[in-house]
Amino acid sequence: MINTMLDQTIDSAIFNFIDVETTGLSPERARVCEVALIGFKGAARVNHFASLVNPGVPIPPIASNINGITDDMVRQSPSFGGVAPKLLDLLEGSVIVAHNAPFDLGFLNMEFGRVGLKLPELPVVDTLEIARGHWKFTNNRLGTIAGELNLASENWHRALADVEMTRKIFEHFVAAFKNRGVVTVGDLVKKSRVAR
C-alpha cells in the first residue's frame, strides 16, 4: 500500500499533520499528554482531532513550563488507549507530516505498542528535514521558521497550534517544490529524507 501512496500526486493525497506534547524527551520513560491532528486533501480540511491525554504519570514542572499542560488539566482526560482507535482511523491511508517526525513517531509507536496496537506503515514527510536540507533559516525551530516566513503564530507548544503552523510551513515548502518539478508524494518524501 505504501508504494501506491507514494505514486499519488500531492494534490490528491491526504496529508495528516500531527504533533504530540509529552512529559519528557524519552519515549521509553515519558508519556504523551496531548495529541493533535489535522488532515488536508489539497486546500480542503478533511480531519481534525485534538485531545489532552492522561499520561498516567505526573507531569514534571519542566514539561509543564514548556507546553503549559498540568496534572489538573489532564486528570479527567482519556488515556492514550482511549484516543488510539480514533487516531488509527484518521491516519489510515494518509501521509504523515510532522516537524521533527522521529520525535512524534517515536512517542506514537511506543504509546500504540503499550495498548497492543501498531502505527501503520505510512509515508512520512518531515518539515524539519526539509528546512535543514533546502532552506537557510536562522535555526530550524518551528517558531523561527514561521517568523522568517512571516506566518503569524500563538500558543506555541500546544499540539493544535503546532500542527496548524506545521501545515502553513508545509504549504510554503510544497509551493516552492512544485515549481521545481515535485509532483508526487514520493518526490516529497525524498525531499525530506525521513527513514523509518
Position 89 confidence tier, pLDDT thresholds 50, 70, 90: very high
User: Where are the strands (E) in 14-85, listed by range?
Assistant: 14-22, 32-41, 44-52
What pLDDT, on a 0 to 100 scale, did the predictor assign at position 124?
96
In terms of Cα–Cα distance, which of 164, 184, 161, 165 is closest to 174?
184
- 95's enclosing H/E stretch is strand 95-98
What pLDDT, on a 0 to 100 scale, did the predictor assign at position 11?
96
CB-based contact 129:193 (threshold 8 Å): yes
pLDDT tens digits along 33-81: 999 999 999 999 999 999 999 999 999 999 999 999 999 999 999 999 9
Percentage of the chain with pLDDT > 90? Answer: 91
Q: Please tell me the total count of domains within the chain.
A: 1
Residues spanned by the domain of 134 = 2-192
CATH code assigned at 180 = 3.30.420.10
Number of alpha carbons in the 13 Å side-chain half-sphere of residue 127 = 33
